[in-house]
């Protein structure tokens, strides 16, 4: 809501600057910002157009003689609406306009120009740049523009929270200010003109649930014309466009006292009656902005007994709108159910200034005042006279809510004591009636505050007006405290640390993907009903696609080697039912490019499968003591892929990133590898307690064993054999060298050197302990794997 400070002064005294007022309102819970319109436009003064003549060298330009009361300036102006005799805003040479635009002396097509005649947009008053701003005649020439006129446009933009429908009006904002400053609120006064029964209209409601109150009256003799300048200025300063006197009056009253009303062209009504009902399915209706709708059951409509003439509380119809020829109008001042209006507005995706106020909760008991205010203004500014009674259908009066407030509870919630007199002042300032009782107060809450229903709501009101910053800080953090140090994320923290220690960079990528990407894994992605766009219509089923995207991004920006990981949730739609969704925490890593930058110390090679296997070993085998195995398999996102088994559980896949995923990326596939691990099945195993194993004090003994085996033979089977035959004294077996030579070994063989470490818990090992084991290993290896000892 845009609040013009000058208009606000009609309701409450304001001594504060715009900035101070914005801060004051923010501290009251009406978050306010000073809008762009400047407080001060140095150098801009009120000027008088003495004469204009056509520029000799330009058709559209005029040479103007403009007076500031002392001197006459020659100014070249291109605005079509400039005329002699006007008062205008003159930006003299040296003026600084909004946007730090400084006015200089100029020569325009051979004629000197000493300044500029300003439009509204150049002054920052509005977006209107069609022609110059013509000022009221009574302004004094030579005066500072802002002081003389621009102040009317100084305004605040207030972000009204959904609980405060009352703050959608000048009187509501003023009430908060008056309450805070303990000053007087100047109410809008109306006078009820004498009723007449020349004309009448029948009002009926289908449901008093939807429409608890409807007031109507008929005004005749209307003359449609422009609104008086001050109404136009006030609307304009509040961000509302002026249409004509009748429409403007309705808008003016809505801003002033917060109640939306509607004015119908009475002669357009086929039947002289008003019936409020729900729309039929697909009932056609054209709103006054020219849009055609097919209505739904949710839409509450005003009809003339048959056809809809307005969407109740949202917008009038084009069939009954006020036109130039209108002479008789029907004034509606009604109260509609907030939920009904909200549903109606949602179902058509049509939100208006009126619907915003009704759906937050208008005041059923201000309808009458709003009606008379409209009638008074129509009389004053549109020549209209009420020719009917005020017809008021209000079958069940909505009363002020009664709420009991205990002073003990105020202290307990806020943690401090506020004086009783201050509390009473605050409540009274908010129009809440208070009667003391032995524990506190019995309060009656005005109907324009539907948000105040309970004691806690009253306490909030007291707190906000008293000032949150006046409530003392309690640093004791007292209370009962159970010591638990449980953090379900802490195991994941460890994984993040290990990965970053291994040179991987953590990324976060978007959980939202398109269908194509999110179904690359072969899993069924979770679909959103209302995606932002096609590219974000599904939840990802795995993390590799995000890493591939980041890879492409970085390659595009010049990176040639990197390692990335992500640790996040993914989702899968597993069953028919929408609720059959599985959420799992995944870890995914990719390696791309060289293992290290080119350097003098060592050879550089391309990253491969074994870099990633190293990560799995470091994290899951070394740190979490799990058993890691691979099984050759087929995963659609990877070429040459293997299932990853941790402690016999299938948890993910590892392999080359498939070239079907990288077709459009400039990626060297040879070095692009990735894996993902679903952490859910192993979550509980990440929490293992570590138990110290005694350090063996007897020395290790190391032997190398060279075995010639078939080229296709996996080394781990030999390693396992050595461990098995090791009689518990083999501490470790590592293949340290692989040698192939067709001539000495034969085409189909390789020689593998196994480095074996022996250690005994209770003695120093000697050759006589180790040799028989080595011999047995050789024998069995010969039998089981046709291995030969290489000498």
Partner 1 sequence: MINKLKQYQDDFDLLISKVSSLKELAELRSKFLGKKGCVSLMLIEMRSLSDDQKPQAGKHINEFKKNIATLIQEKTQVLEKTSDQTSVRTEGFDTTLPGRGNSPGSIHPISQIMDEVISIFFSLGFRVEEGPEIESDFYNFEALNIPKDHPARDMQDTFYIGEEVLRTHTSPVQIHVMENQKPPLRIIAPGKVFRCDSDISHTPMFHQIEGLMVDENLSFGDLKGVMNSFLYEVFGKQTKTRFRPSFFPFTCPSAEVDIECVMCSGQGCRVCSKTGWLEILGCGMVDPAVFKSVDYDPERWLGFAFGLGIERIAMLKYKINDIRLFYNGDLRFLDQF
Name which position in 85, 94, 162, 522 contacts partner 1 (CB under 8 A): 162
| Residue 508 or 698 having the CB closest to partner 1 | 508
CA 525 to chain centroid, in Å, comes to 25
CB neighbour class for 781 (10 Å; exposed up to 12, middle 13-18, buried from 19)? buried
Residues 593-622 that bind partner 1 (CB under 8 A): 595-597, 599-602
Among the listed ranges 250-258, 266-274, 521-529, 660-668, the one in contact with partner 1 (CB under 8 A) is 521-529
The 8-class DSSP code of residue 727 comes to: T
* Contact status: 444 vs partner 1 (CB under 8 A): no
- For the CB of residue 15, give the shortest distance to partner 1 in the complex, in Å: 20
Which neighbouring-strand residues pair with 596? none
Residue 519 or 643 having the CB closest to partner 1: 519
Please report whether residue 99 would count as binding partner 1 according to CB under 8 A: no
Residue among 559, 574, 736, 738 that touches partner 1 (CB under 8 A): 559
Give dist(CA 496, CA 504) in Å, integer: 9
**Which region holds residue 161: left if phi is over 0, alpha if psi is between -120 and 50, else beta?**
beta
Smaller CB separation from partner 1, 389 or 561? 561
- Considering only 526, 657, 718, 777, the residue that binds partner 1 (CB under 8 A) is 526
Considering the complex, what minimum distance in angstroms separates the CB of residue 93 from partner 1? 28
Q: Which of 126, 144, 163, 404 binds partner 1 (CB under 8 A)?
A: 163
H helix intervals, 467-562:
490-501, 515-518, 544-556
Site string for partner 1, 15-54 (x = CB under 8 A): -------xx--xxxx-x-xx--------------------
DSSP string, 735-762: EEEEE--TTTT-TTEEEEEEEEEE--SS
DSSP-derived secondary structure letter, 9: T
Q: Beta 562-573 vs 505-506: how paired, if at all?
A: parallel
Residue 25 in 3-state DSSP?
A: helix
**Strand ordering across the sheet containing 315-316:** 202-205, 273-278, 300-303, 308-311, 315-316
Task: Report the residue number, 26 or 318, with the smaller CB distance to partner 1.
Answer: 26
Q: Which stretch binds partner 1 (CB under 8 A): 65-73, 127-135, 441-449, 566-574?
A: 566-574
Vertex 767: Cα angle to 766 and 768 (nearest 5): 90
When asked if residue 565 is in the footprint of partner 1 (CB under 8 A), the reply is yes
Q: Classify burial at 744, counting beta carbons within 10 Å of its beta carbon; exposed 0-12, middle 13-18, buried 19 or more.
A: exposed
Shortest distance, position 415 Cβ to partner 1, whole Å? 3
Question: Does position 476 bind partner 1 by CB under 8 A?
Answer: yes
Residue 176 or 233 with smaller CB distance to partner 1: 176
Cβ of residue 624: shortest distance to partner 1, in angstroms? 19
Among 307, 433, 502, 729, the residue binding partner 1 under the rule CB under 8 A is: 502
Q: Is 335 helix (H, G, I), strand (E, B) or coil?
A: strand
Out of 417, 421, 529, 743, the only residue in the binding site for partner 1 (CB under 8 A) is 529
Residues 400 to 419 in contact with partner 1, rule: CB under 8 A = 412-416
Residue selected from 17, 57, 81, 161 as contacting partner 1 according to rule CB under 8 A: 161
From the list 72-80, 493-501, 659-667, 695-703, the region that binds partner 1 by CB under 8 A is 493-501
Q: Which of 87, 152, 164, 449 binds partner 1 (CB under 8 A)?
A: 164
Bridge partners, residue 393, by sequence: 214
Q: Which residues in the 320-349 window bind partner 1 by CB under 8 A? A: 338-339, 342-343, 346
Give the one residue of 496, 725, 731, 790 binding partner 1; rule: CB under 8 A: 496
Residue closer to partner 1, measured from CB, 336 or 749: 336
Instruction: Name all contacts of 524-528 with Cβ < 8 Å and 24+ positions apart.
Output: 524/572, 524/573, 524/574, 525/571, 525/572, 525/573, 526/571, 526/572, 526/573, 526/581, 527/573
Contacts of 290 (CB under 8 A, 6+ apart): 318
Cα(538)–Cα(569) distance, integer angstroms: 14
* 576 forms part of the interface with partner 1 (CB under 8 A): no
Please give the Cα distance from 290 to 315 (Å, whole number): 11
Q: Of residues 539-558, which lie at the interface with partner 1 (CB under 8 A)? A: 539, 546-547, 549-551, 553-554, 557
Q: Which is nearer to partner 1, 472 or 742 (CB)?
A: 472
**163 vs 196, beta carbon nearer partner 1:** 163
708 binds partner 1 per the rule CB under 8 A: no
């Amino acid at each position: 809501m845009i609040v013009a400070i000058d208009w606000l002064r009609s309701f409450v005294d304001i001594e504060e600057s715009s900035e101070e007022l914005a801060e004051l309102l923010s501290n009251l819970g009406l978050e306010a910002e000073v809008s762009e319109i400047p407080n001060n436009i140095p150098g801009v003064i009120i000027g008088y157009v003495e004469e204009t003549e056509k520029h000799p060298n330009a058709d559209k330009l005029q040479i103007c003689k403009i007076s500031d009361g002392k001197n006459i300036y020659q100014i070249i102006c291109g605005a079509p609406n400039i005329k002699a005799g006007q008062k205008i805003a003159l930006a003299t040479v040296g003026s600084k306009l909004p946007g730090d635009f400084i006015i200089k002396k100029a020569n325009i097509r051979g004629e000197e120009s000493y300044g500029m005649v300003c439009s509204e947009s150049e002054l920052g008053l509005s977006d209107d740049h069609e022609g110059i701003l013509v000022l009221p005649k009574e302004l004094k020439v030579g005066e500072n523009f802002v002081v003389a006129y621009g102040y009317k446009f100084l305004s605040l933009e207030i972000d009204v929270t959904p609980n405060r429908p009352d703050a959608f009006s000048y009187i509501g904002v003023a009430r908060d200010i008056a309450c805070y400053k303990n000053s007087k609120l100047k109410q809008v006064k109306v006078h009820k003109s004498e009723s007449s029964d020349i004309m009448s209209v029948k009002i009926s409601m289908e449901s008093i649930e939807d429409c608890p109150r409807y007031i109507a009256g008929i005004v005749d003799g209307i003359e449609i014309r422009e609104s008086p300048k001050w109404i136009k200025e006030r609307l304009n300063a509040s961000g509302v466009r002026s249409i004509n006197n009748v429409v403007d009056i309705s808008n003016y009253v809505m801003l002033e006292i917060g109640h939306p009303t509607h004015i119908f062209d009475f002669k357009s009504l086929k039947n002289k009656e008003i019936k409020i009902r729900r729309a039929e399915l697909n009932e056609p209706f054209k709103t006054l902005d020219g849009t055609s709708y097919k209505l739904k059951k949710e839409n509450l409509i005003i009809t003339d007994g048959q056809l809809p003439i307005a969407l109740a509380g949202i917008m009038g119809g084009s069939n009954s709108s006020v036109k130039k020829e209108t002479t008789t109008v029907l004034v509606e001042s009604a109260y509609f159910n907030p939920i009904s209006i909200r549903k109606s507005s949602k179902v058509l995706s049509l939100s208006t200034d009126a619907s915003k106020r009704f759906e937050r909760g208008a005041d059923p008991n201000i309808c009458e005042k709003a009606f008379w205010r409209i009638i008074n203004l129509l009389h004053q500014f549109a020549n209209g006279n009420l020719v009917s009674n005020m017809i008021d259908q209000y079958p069940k009066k909505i009363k002020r809510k009664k709420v009991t407030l205990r002073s003990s509870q105020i202290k307990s919630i806020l943690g401090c004591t506020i004086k009783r007199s201050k509390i009473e002042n605050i409540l009274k300032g908010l129009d809440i009636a208070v009667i003391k009782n032995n524990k506190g107060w019995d309060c009656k809450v005005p109907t324009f505050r539907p948000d105040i229903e309970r004691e806690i709501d009253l306490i909030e009101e007291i707190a906000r007006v008293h000032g949150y910053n006046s409530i003392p800080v309690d640093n004791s953090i007292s209370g009962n405290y159970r010591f638990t140090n449980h953090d379900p994320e802490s195991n994941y923290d460890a994984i993040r640390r290990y990965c970053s220690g291994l040179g991987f960079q953590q990324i976060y990528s978007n959980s939202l993907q398109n269908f194509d990407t999110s179904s690359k894994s072969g899993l069924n992605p979770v679909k959103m009903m209302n995606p932002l766009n096609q590219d974000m219509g599904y939840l990802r089923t795995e993390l590799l696609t995000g890493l591939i995207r980041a890879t492409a991004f970085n390659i595009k920006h010049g990176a040639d080697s990197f390692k990335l990981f992500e640790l996040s949730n993914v989702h899968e739609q597993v069953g028919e039912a929408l609720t059959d969704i599985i959420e799992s925490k995944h870890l995914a890593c990719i390696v791309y490019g060289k293992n290290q930058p080119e350097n003098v110390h060592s050879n550089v090679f391309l990253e491969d499968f074994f870099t990633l296997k190293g990560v799995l070993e470091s994290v899951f085998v070394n740190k979490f003591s799990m058993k890691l195995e691979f099984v050759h398999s087929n995963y659609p996102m990877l070429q040459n892929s293997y299932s990853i088994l941790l402690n016999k559980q299938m948890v993910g896949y590892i392999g080359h990133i498939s070239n079907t995923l990288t077709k459009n990326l400039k990626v060297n596939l040879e070095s692009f590898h990735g894996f993902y691990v679903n952490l859910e099945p192993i979550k509980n195993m990440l929490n293992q307690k570590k138990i110290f194993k005694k350090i063996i004090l007897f020395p290790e003994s190391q032997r190398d064993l060279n075995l010639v085996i078939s080229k296709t033979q996996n080394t781990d089977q030999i390693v396992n054999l050595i461990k098995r035959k090791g009689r518990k004294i083999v501490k470790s077996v590592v293949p340290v060298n692989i040698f192939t030579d067709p001539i000495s070994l034969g085409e189909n063989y390789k020689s593998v050197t196994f480095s074996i470490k022996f250690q005994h818990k209770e003695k120093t090992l000697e050759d006589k302990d180790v040799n028989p084991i080595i011999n047995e290993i050789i024998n069995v290896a010969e039998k089981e794997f046709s291995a030969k000892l290489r000498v």
